[in-house]
Amino acid sequence: MRLRVATWNINSVRLRADQVARFVAEQGPDVVCLQEIKCREGEFPRQAFIDAGLPHIRIAGQKGWHGVAIASRLPLDPGPPVDFCREGHARCVTGVVAGVEIVNLYIPAGGDVPDPELNPKFAHKLDFYERLIAWTGRRDPRAPLLLTGDFNIAPGENDVWNHRHMLKVVSHTPLEIETAERLRASLDFTDLARACTPSDQKLFSWWSYRAQDFRASNRGLRLDHLWASPGLRNHALRAGPLHCVTHDHVRAWTRPSDHVPVVADLIL
C-alpha cells in the first residue's frame, strides 16, 4: 500500500482549516502532521478534518501557542509517550498508522542570538535536540519510524537562500547544523526530501512574511522535514524510488502560513 504523509506548520489551524481541506482535496494525503496549531484540544476544528476525510486525530495543544496534531484517513493508534521539551510546551505528538510510528515535532526556533549562555531560547532549542537524540539513539533502526515536523534547522548549504550570510543566523549556524547531523546519524535517518532532490539544488519550505513577493525575493529556508529510519526506508525502497515533494504553490494562497506542506509517499 501507499502511505502519503504530509508535514505542515500551519500557523493556526483554526485560521487555516479550510486551507488544509483544500490541500487534502488536491493532493490526497493519508496522514497530515501539523505544527503550531495554536489551540487546545477542545478548540481544534475536528469537524473540518472529519469532513475532509481525516477522522482519526491525535492532538497535543495549549492555549494560543505551539501545539501539534496528527490527522489521518486510516486508523491512528497512540504512539509511545515522549517529552523532549523542558519548558512543558505542547511540541510533540506521536501515532502509529499502518505499522509506521510517526513522531511529529515542533522544535523551538531558538530566538535571535545563537549563544546558549546569552539566550535561554537557544539553550532550550539545543536541550530539546539533545533529549531527542538520546531517545532516537536508543531506538531499533529496523523499526519503521518517521520523524517529521518543523525542526527549525535548515541543515544544508542549499537549504538556505544564502549559506555564508545564514551561518551567523539562528537556524543555520554551524552548531545547529552539527546538531541536526547528530540527530540524523543517531538512527541513520534518511532525509526524504533530499533523497529526492539533489543537494546542489535550492529547496525551501518557509518564506518570511516580510517579503511582498516570496518568489521574487526567494529568501527561503528548508525547516520542515520528513526523516525515515532504516527500517522504513529499506522497506519503502524495495517498491521503487522514493517520492517527496515540497508544495511551494501553497505559499501563494490567500492569507497563507509562512510554511508550506512537504509530502512523501511511502510504499509499505
pLDDT for 219 equals 96
Residue 236 has pLDDT above 90, yes or no: no
Residue 134's CB: how many other CB atoms inside 10 A?
A: 11
Residue 139 has pLDDT above 80, yes or no: yes
Return d(Cα 14, Cα 43) in angstroms, integer.
8
Return d(Cα 71, Cα 46) in angstroms, integer.
9
Q: Can you give the pTM of this predicted structure? A: 0.97
The predicted-structure confidence for 187-219, as pLDDT tens digits, reads as follows 999 999 999 999 999 999 999 999 889 999 999
Return d(Cα 6, Cα 261) in angstroms, integer.
6
Return d(Cα 267, Cα 20) in angstroms, integer.
23
Return d(Cα 68, Cα 256) in angstroms, integer.
18
Residue 221 DSSP class: E
Task: Provide the domain count of the chain.
Answer: 1
**Cell numbers 535548515 correspond to what residue?**
154
CB 128, CB 114: distance < 8 Å: no
- Which secondary structure element, helix H or strand E, spans residue 51, and what is its range? helix 46-51
The predicted-structure confidence for 96-115, as pLDDT tens digits, reads as follows 999 999 999 999 999 999 99
pLDDT for 243 equals 84
Hey, is 77 helix, strand or coil? strand
pLDDT band at residue 170 using 50, 70 and 90 as cut-offs: very high
Nearest CA among 145, 150, 147 for reference residue 222: 150
Residue 242 has pLDDT above 80, yes or no: no
N- to C-terminal Cα separation, the chain: 5
Dihedral sign for Cα atoms in the order 245, 249, 254, 256: positive
Hey, is 193 helix, strand or coil? helix
> 216: domain range?
2-267
CATH number of the domain within which 184 lies: 3.60.10.10
Q: Which residues of 111-129 are buried (b: 16+ CB within 10 A; e: fewer)?
A: beebebeebeebbbbbbbb
Region 65-71: what's the mean pLDDT?
98
Return d(Cα 111, Cα 108) in angstroms, integer.
8
Joined together, the cell numbers standing for residue 98 give 499502518
Residue 241 has pLDDT above 90, yes or no: no
The predicted-structure confidence for 32-52, as pLDDT tens digits, reads as follows 999 999 999 999 999 999 999
Mean model confidence pLDDT for the chain: 96
Residue 59 has pLDDT above 60, yes or no: yes
pLDDT band at residue 267 using 50, 70 and 90 as cut-offs: confident
Q: Is 210 left (phi over 0), alpha (psi -120 to 50) or beta?
A: alpha
Residue 138 has pLDDT above 70, yes or no: yes
